Amino acid sequence: MHPNQGWQPQQPPPGWSPRPSVAPAFLAGGLWLLVAVLCFVLAALNSEDGKGVAQTPEAAVALLGLAFGRGVIGNGDPAIVATYVAGGVVLLLTALLMARLGFARWILAGLGFLVSAYYVFAVIRLAVNHGGTLIIVPGIALLLWLAASMVAVIPPVGKAMR
């Protein structure tokens, strides 16, 4: 049979590569959605009925900024607001991440590593001040923020942004 007759397998042109999968971007987005939900749940648990952080002390220790003490944070209301704001910012940036806008992943990663550092401080402060039974919720928050931040910076997520 002549080489020009019949079906011939097509070779891709040189330099061509298949389009990367968008699944890593949606995986990262899903983790950031969990972070946003966590922020909203923590803030909502402590803002009902006007009781503030006295309502659920086990969850209140995971509010952003509450580990800085009464001299800095006051009565706890700024920590509730900061947690709501962080959840809203993460939710907005997650929508941009899922729309595959690359800058959103870096902003989320920077925010995530910053908040993770705060939660490390909060867990250490609770351990030093004999609040060992209260470490669970900040520990879970630390792991979730850190996992979402680390997934956001891995190369497959960057490739999915293209």
CB contact at 8 A, 42 and 62 = yes
In a domain, 82, yes or no: yes
Q: Decide: 105 and 152 in contact? Cβ < 8 Å.
A: yes
Provide the domain limits for residue 81.
23-160
132 alpha-carbon distance from chain centroid: 25
Domain count, the chain: 1
| 33 within some domain | yes
Full-model pTM: 0.82
On whether residue 10 sits in a domain, the answer given is no
Please state the separation of Cα 48 from the chain's center in Å: 24
Span 58-76, pLDDT tens digits: 888 899 998 887 777 777 7
With respect to residue 110, please indicate whether it lies within any of the assigned structural domains.
yes
At 100-146, the pLDDT tens digits run 898 999 999 999 999 999 999 999 999 998 878 889 999 999 999 99
To the nearest whole percent, how much of the chain has pLDDT over 70?
Answer: 91
**Rounded distance between C-alpha atoms, residue 60 and residue 101, angstroms:** 34
Would residue 65 count as lying in a domain? yes
List pLDDT tens digits, range 36-59. Answer: 999 999 998 888 766 655 677 788
